[in-house]
């Protein structure tokens, strides 16, 4: 059963990353309009995210994100071993997704990004994006409505893509995966630590917000 969960986390994270990277490449190929590129990237990501969560949540919980599984560990929903194992698998899945996206467009399988993303605005944006993601997931969970995550999470990510200056990475594994592509969705490896630090700060903030707003349902 654990092997199925590991495979689900690998495939889900890989699918989402391949969609983020691949749709960015497609958008750049089809248009020079940056607004349209962002729209295509956002739309494809939201659709793939909803599908992955809906299909795979019964198998693994559909975490697809080390920050999410870290909070699940803090909430005693997952063991430390499972949290670490899932996180490693998610990172490998994200790398595989980026490589697959490059293969789909006949690009070098690994093309490290040169897109530097830094500054206080991006740092704050990633805190907000990840806090909102975690709050969305665990407010619903605290209310006993966790089964709605398949559409609630894409709603948040889609909106945060547009209203944050960082375009809402909100995922350490996918952030690392996106460092492997020098395309629309890429991020230079030098910028990754800033994003990941902000994401974990945001995750803790979202966890606190969720528990302050709604007490967990007693089972």
pLDDT per residue of the chain (219 residues) written in tens, 0 to 9:
689 999 999 999 999 999 999 999 999 999 999 999 999 999 999 999 999 999 999 999 999 999 999 999 999 999 999 999 999 999 999 999 999 999 999 999 999 999 999 999 999 999 999 999 999 999 999 999 999 999 999 999 999 999 999 999 999 999 999 999 999 999 999 999 999 999 999 999 999 999 999 887 665
pLDDT score recorded for residue 1: 60
- Which contacts of 55-60 are long-range, i.e. CB under 8 A and separated by 24 or more positions? 56/8, 56/9, 56/11, 56/12, 57/147, 57/149, 57/150, 59/4, 59/5, 59/8, 60/4, 60/5, 60/6, 60/8, 60/9, 60/12, 60/86
pLDDT score recorded for residue 216: 75
Q: Which architecture does CATH list for 2-213? A: Up-down Bundle (1.20)
Single pTM value for the model? 0.95
User: What sign results for the dihedral spanned by CA atoms 126, 131, 132, 138?
Assistant: positive
Question: For the chain, how long is the longest CA-to-CA vector?
Answer: 53
Residue ranges per structural domain of the chain: 2-213
Beta strands in 76-189 (DSSP E): none
In whole angstroms, give the CA distance from residue 84 to residue 38: 32
pLDDT score recorded for residue 214: 86
pLDDT score recorded for residue 121: 98
């Amino acid at each position: 059963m654990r092997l199925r969960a590991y495979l689900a986390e690998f495939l889900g994270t890989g699918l989402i990353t391949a969609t983020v990277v691949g749709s960015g490449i497609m958008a750049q190929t089809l248009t020079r309009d940056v607004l349209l590129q962002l729209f295509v990237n956002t739309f494809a990501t939201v659709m793939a995210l909803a599908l992955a969560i809906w299909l795979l949540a019964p198998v693994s919980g559909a975490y697809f994100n080390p920050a999410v599984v870290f909070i699940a560990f803090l909430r005693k929903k997952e063991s430390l071993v499972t949290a670490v194992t899932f996180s490693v698998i998610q990172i490998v899945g994200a790398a595989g997704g980026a490589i697959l996206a490059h293969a789909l467009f006949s690009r070098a399988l690994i093309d490290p990004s040169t897109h530097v993303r830094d500054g206080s605005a991006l740092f704050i944006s990633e805190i907000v994006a990840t806090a909102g993601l975690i709050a969305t997931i665990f407010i619903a969970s605290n209310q006993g409505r966790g089964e709605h995550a398949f559409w609630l999470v894409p709603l948040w990510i889609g909106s945060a893509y547009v209203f944050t200056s960082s375009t809402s990475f909100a995922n350490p594994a996918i952030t690392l995966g996106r460092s492997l592509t020098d395309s629309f969705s890429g991020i230079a490896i030098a910028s990754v630590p800033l994003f990941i630090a902000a994401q974990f700060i945001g995750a803790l903030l979202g966890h606190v917000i969720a528990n302050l707003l709604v007490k967990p349902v007693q089972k």
